[in-house]
Amino acid sequence: MSVWTQVIGQPAVVAELQAAVADPTAMTHAWLFTGPPGSGRSVAARAFAAALQCPDGGDGTCHQCRTVLAGSHADVATVVPEGLSIGVTEARELVRLAGRAPSQGRWQVVVVEDADRMTEQASNAVLKMIEEPPPRTVFLLCAPSLHPDDVPVTIRSRCRVVGLRTPPVDAVADVLVRRDGIDPALAAWAAGAAGGHVGRARHLARDEGARLARKAVLDVPLSLVSLAACLNAADDLVSSAKEESDRTTAVLDGAETEAVKTSLGVGARGPGVAASRGGAGVLKDLEKRQKSRATRLGRDSLDRALVDLAGLYRDALVLAAAGEQTPVLSHPDRRQDAEELARRIGAEGALRRIDAVLACRTALEQNVKPQIAVEALTVALRLPAA
């Protein structure tokens, strides 16, 4: 199966990338994949990396393709930030890797997922390499948009931009059925509920807990009838995000800590055994990275909830303004709730509440404490007296 089958609902993008693979003389040394969450920008970048290394342009079955997609190819380095940002130390390591000649494949490929998380110093380090790249090195950067807040203009101007769009809901549902063996009815519901976001749709289809969490978030708007209800809803949203983060990090942190302790010889006994010097510092650095990852996971979970809320208010807005038309809804399974919101707050009220959700997302990005930011939000979302 070709690696390109992983790039869902993007025929123009696939055609452009295939043309670049087929004509190495026209290859660009730096590519920027942009698109909204769920558009598959990192999937497209990995497929492109596999096709660049494959002698047959990405047949999906050869050793080169399989190792790239599995993340084990010696000449493809992938950076997935676990913390809040990609720092200059990580960027310099990328530059070091990018400077090597390919050892097995045809190219030395560096894939940076969430390149918008690079700090200014990290961006400057990567920019220097992009300006003067080695002849067989390719950078593949992934970011949500071309906005300067996501990608510095200096980097954007030196990259070939590949714009992806959200895949059609029908295409996502088809993938869930064919690849994951999910019941067609559940796949169709999950694809619609996720708004075409492939990863989110798969998660909703497979995990009942995820479905219940989404339901709890979308139940919030019609429950905000008093100040007490607003504060309780805020507490539930923040607590739910923290619980999800804690569940994920509990598994990851324990395994990482034990692996580092073993490598340092901590707790080992017997003749000839000595713990590595500086072990305390290594463990402290690991703990710092784990805390950063936990913060990011919690923020990402809370941000998904805010996006779902904004989607429901958007549905109320379009229903209030649609007249006789039948609009496409972000949450088609919650149409009745959207209609009730449209009746109670109208188009202007829905628009004000969307602005409030966006302001909350901005506050969280600026490190406002989640409890304070979300409490301010739920108070702003409070329903008018009946």
Is pLDDT above 50 for 38? yes
Those residues with Cβ within 8 angstroms of residue 129's Cβ, 6 or more apart along the chain or in another chain: 94, 95, 98, 99, 137, 139
Q: Are residues 152 and 184 in the same domain?
A: no
- Are 244 and 371 members of one domain? yes
Is 241 a domain residue? yes
Dihedral (CA of 5, 10, 16, 17) sign: negative
326: how many CB neighbours lie within 10 A of its CB? 7
What would the mean pLDDT of 301-306 be, rounded to a whole number?
Answer: 91
**Residue 69 belongs to domain with CATH number:** 3.40.50.300
Least confident of 47-51, 269-273, 279-283, 323-327: 269-273
Confidence of residue 375 (pLDDT cuts 50, 70, 90): very high
At residue 12 the predicted structure's pLDDT band, cuts being 50, 70 and 90, is very high
Q: Which two tokens stand for residue 364?
A: 């969280």
Q: Please report whether residue 236 resides in a domain.
A: yes
pLDDT at 250: 76
Is 219 a domain residue?
Answer: no
Confidence of residue 273 (pLDDT cuts 50, 70, 90): very low
Q: Is 13 in the same domain as 152?
A: yes
Residue 135's pLDDT band, with cuts at 50, 70 and 90, is: confident
Give a yes or no: residue 214 inside a domain. no
**What is the number of domains present in the chain?**
3
Please tell me the predicted confidence (pLDDT) of residue 87. 85
Examine the domain organization and report whether 173 and 156 are in the same domain.
Answer: no
Q: Is residue 61 part of a domain?
A: yes
H/E element, 209 = helix 208-218
Domain that holds residue 246: 227-263+289-381
Q: Would 272 be classed as within a structural domain?
A: no
Q: Which residues pair with 142 in a beta bridge?
A: 33
Q: Do 155 and 236 lie in a common domain? A: no
Pair (11, 144) in one structural domain: yes
Q: How many CB atoms lie within 10 A of CB 149?
A: 10
Tokens representing 370? 């989640």
Going by pLDDT thresholds of 50, 70 and 90, the confidence category of residue 278 is low
pLDDT of residue 23: 85
Residue ending a domain, among 163, 195, 218, is 163
Look at residue 213 and tell me if it is in a domain.
no
Highest mean pLDDT of the ranges 223-232, 283-292, 326-335: 223-232
Q: Which is nearest to 333 in space by CA: 311, 354, 306?
A: 311
Average pLDDT over residues 169-185: 91
Per-residue pLDDT at 295 exceeds 90: no
Q: Rounded mean pLDDT of 104-129?
A: 88
Confidence of residue 309 (pLDDT cuts 50, 70, 90): very high
Q: Judge if 188 and 74 occupy the same domain.
A: no
Give the confidence band of 274 by pLDDT, cuts at 50, 70, 90. Answer: very low
Residue 356 has pLDDT above 90, yes or no: yes
Given a cut of 90, is residue 149 above it in pLDDT? no
Residues 124 and 187 in one domain: no
What average pLDDT does the structure give for the chain? 87
Which pLDDT tens digit goes with each residue over 338-351? 999 999 999 999 99
336 membership: H or E segment, kind and range: helix 335-365
Pair 79, 48 in one domain: yes
Please say if the pLDDT value at position 269 is more than 60: no
- Residue 223 DSSP one-character state: G
Q: Is residue 277 in a domain?
A: no
365 and 325 together in one domain: yes
Residue 76 has pLDDT above 80, yes or no: yes
pLDDT value at residue 343:
94
More confident: 134 or 296: 134
For residues 191 and 241, state if they share a domain: no
- Residue 248 pLDDT level (bands cut at 50, 70, 90): confident
**If you average pLDDT over residues 61-85, what whole number do you get?**
87
3-state secondary structure of 309: helix
Q: Are 182 and 151 part of one and the same domain?
A: no
- Sort residue 254 into left (φ over 0), alpha (ψ -120 to 50) or beta: alpha
Q: Using one digit for the tens of pLDDT, what is the confidence trace for 45-68?
A: 999 999 999 988 888 889 999 999
Give me the helices (H) in 23-148, please. Answer: 41-53, 63-70, 88-98, 120-131
Contacts of residue 224, Cβ cutoff 8 Å, sequence gap at least 6: 230, 233, 378, 381, 382, 383
pLDDT grade for 293, boundaries at 50, 70 and 90 = confident
Q: What does the angle CA 120 – CA 46 – CA 93 come to, to the nearest 5 degrees?
A: 40
Q: Is the pLDDT of residue 272 over 50?
A: no
